[in-house]
Amino acid sequence: MHSKRSIFWIIGLTLITILIFYFGREEILGLLIKANPKTMGGLFLLQIYTLGLTAFQWHLMLKKAGATCSPGRETEPDQNVILEKSAGKIYQKFRTIIAFTKKASANSRYLVNFRERIALIIISTLIWSLYPLKVYIVCRMLFIDVDFLTVAMVTYTAYMISMVPLLPGGLGSFEGSMALLF
């Protein structure tokens, strides 16, 4: 399992390197040189903080459910939720997803008490408010003159588009939406 993951990491890093060299490494290096190191460090810490909050949410929910999750132990996805490629079955799959969502929502009420639910809502609100802030900081760092409200609308719209399962794992749908909307 670890060797398979290592191969995917190597392939991913190789593809990113090829893309950087093919699509204007001078421009990318120029922007990185102009970037303020404190801003870059702040963005890095903000990203780590956001990932930590998300991990904390999952940890809390899994702990309450009595489930354990460790890195490298992925579970098989529920076959009733996966959208199949055939267009005739999409409607039925959407109905299955809606039913699954309703059932998960009803069962989650028994998982956490009111106080924990409020804490999770506050953490989620904090996480979702940090997304446009990070994009806004990156835009300012890249000398793109755009106001925060526009960045927030584009960021949230891109996230909504990326939630529609067009590609496996939403691969590139967020990035493509951001590029299209900006």
**Secondary structure of the chain as H, E, C letters:** CHHHHHHHHHHHHHHHHHHHHHCCHHHHHHHHHHCCHHHHHHHHHHHHHHHHHHHHHHHHHHHHHCCCCCCCCCCCCCCCCCCCCCHHHHHHHHHHHHHHHHHHHHHHCCCCCHHHHHHHHHHHHHHHHHHHHHHHHHHHHCCCCCCHHHHHHHHHHHHHHHCCCCCHHHCCHHHHHHHHHC
pTM, to two decimals: 0.58
At residue 100, the pLDDT reads 74
Tens digit of pLDDT at every position of the chain (182 positions): 567 778 877 887 888 788 777 777 788 778 778 888 888 888 888 888 888 888 888 777 777 776 654 444 444 444 333 433 444 455 566 667 777 777 777 776 777 788 888 888 899 999 999 999 999 998 888 888 999 999 999 999 988 887 776 666 666 777 777 877 77
